[in-house]
């Protein structure tokens, strides 16, 4: 993975995975039912910024007209607003920077010291004050279409687990987007064209069967052939789209199943961790009580030794007297 600096201390901000935080975020991600991909992307950014304790989480999509990465979704935070004021919500590929680098190389990046990254934009380092960044490509339908990233002003804020979690969310969002795009191809426009072609072909066939010489000429026959060919292509295209949609639905369901299994595993781990902490607390309490008891016994033993020493001395003095 790309990135610069801070990777030897990536766990400085988190001592270990926050299972409860990840579990709650996974469950909320599964509950997203936005009608559009941008809507789902926005909900995901809002969830991730809290889960990762980031200053902003952004979903950039490539805009061909401007040859730029445009933040189509951003968490509603002060940094996100400042980012827009600085014009960083639209990043031309020619300007470079870490976000563009992730898009261009199809590689994730992770750094805890963005101020030391020579490829980072100075406006990001100085005006926005970014110190930690994790970012991953956003693939939709097998094509790199953007970048999902998180920024923080705190050095070494994000852990490796945070990056892996961001990559999992990016993969899930890619499935959501591809599903939406495939569904859009099956909207009424396509269906209306399909019906219109069917009606035209049926009408021409009917006239041909009636022996209409004006219709049965070579030009009309060519029109019929062309309509049949268009109909066949439309049917094939529709079948291909439906097959692709079925594959995406299956992948989407499998992704949900895996996330659900992971959530269950995290919940189980949290329960075991809680039980372990309770047992450890009990063991510590027993050990502390044992130490207190030992100290009491040692005090009693010292008292008994002092008493024996005094009695011995008294007895010795009595004999000499």
| 19 phi and psi angles, rounded to 5 deg | -65, -40
pLDDT one-digit tens code per residue, 91-147: 999 999 999 999 999 999 999 999 999 999 999 999 999 999 999 999 988 889 999
Tell me, rounded to whole angstroms, the distance of Cα 281 from its chain centroid. 35
**What is the average pLDDT across 156-180?**
86
Q: What are the start and end residues of each CATH 3.30.450.40 domain in the chain?
A: 7-183
306 pLDDT above the threshold of 90: no
What's the token pair of residue 306? Answer: 């002092």
Write down the pLDDT at residue 71: 96
Write down the pLDDT at residue 9: 31
Cα–Cα dist 158/314, whole Å? 73
318 pLDDT above the threshold of 90: no
Write down the pLDDT at residue 197: 59
Least confident of 3-7, 29-33, 178-182, 215-219: 3-7
When comparing pLDDT for 194 and 301, which is higher?
301
Nearest-10 crossing angle of helices 19-30, 160-184: 0
When comparing pLDDT for 33 and 161, which is higher?
161
- Per-position DSSP letters for 94-137, written without gaps between them: GG--HHHHHHHHT--EEES-GGG-TTS-HIIIIIS---EEEEEE
Assign 92 to helix, strand or coil: strand
Which residue(s) pair with 150 in the sheet? 57, 134
- Does CATH place domain 7-183 in 3.30.450.40? yes
pLDDT one-digit tens code per residue, 175-233: 888 777 777 766 644 555 556 556 566 655 655 565 554 555 555 566 666 666 766 66
245 pLDDT above the threshold of 90: no
Count of helix runs (H) and strand runs (E) in the chain:
8, 6
């Amino acid at each position: 993975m790309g990135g610069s600096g801070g990777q030897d201390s990536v766990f400085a901000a988190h001592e270990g995975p926050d299972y409860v935080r990840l579990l709650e975020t996974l469950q909320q991600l599964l509950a997203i039912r936005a009608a559009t991909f941008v809507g789902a992307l926005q909900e995901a950014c809002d969830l991730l910024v809290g889960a990762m304790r980031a200053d902003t989480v952004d979903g950039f999509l490539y805009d061909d007209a401007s040859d730029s990465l445009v933040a189509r979704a951003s968490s509603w935070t002060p940094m996100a607003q400042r980012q827009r004021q600085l014009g960083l919500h639209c990043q031309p590929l020619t300007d470079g920077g870490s976000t563009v680098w992730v898009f261009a190389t199809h590689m994730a990046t992770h750094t805890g010291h963005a101020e030391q990254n020579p490829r980072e934009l100075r406006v990001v380092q100085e005006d926005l004050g970014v110190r930690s960044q994790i970012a991953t490509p956003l693939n939709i339908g097998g094509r790199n279409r953007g970048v999902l990233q998180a920024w923080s002003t705190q050095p070494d804020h994000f852990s490796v687990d945070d990056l892996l979690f961001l990559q999992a969310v990016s993969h899930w969002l890619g499935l959501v987007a591809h599903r939406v795009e495939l569904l859009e191809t099956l909207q009424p426009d396509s269906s209306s064209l399909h019906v219109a072609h069917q009606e035209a072909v049926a009408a021409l066939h009917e006239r041909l069967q009636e022996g209409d010489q004006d219709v049965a000429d070579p030009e009309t026959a060519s029109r019929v052939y062309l309509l049949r060919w268009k109909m066949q292509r439309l049917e094939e295209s529709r079948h291909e789209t439906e097959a692709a949609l079925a594959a995406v639905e299956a992948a989407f369901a499998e992704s949900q199943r895996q996330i659900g299994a992971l959530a269950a595993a995290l919940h189980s781990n949290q329960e075991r961790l809680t039980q372990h902490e309770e047992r450890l607390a009990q063991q510590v309490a027993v050990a502390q009580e044992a130490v207190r008891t030992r100290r009491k016994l040692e005090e009693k033993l010292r008292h008994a030794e002092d008493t024996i020493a005094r009695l011995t001395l008294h007895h010795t003095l009595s004999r000499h007297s």
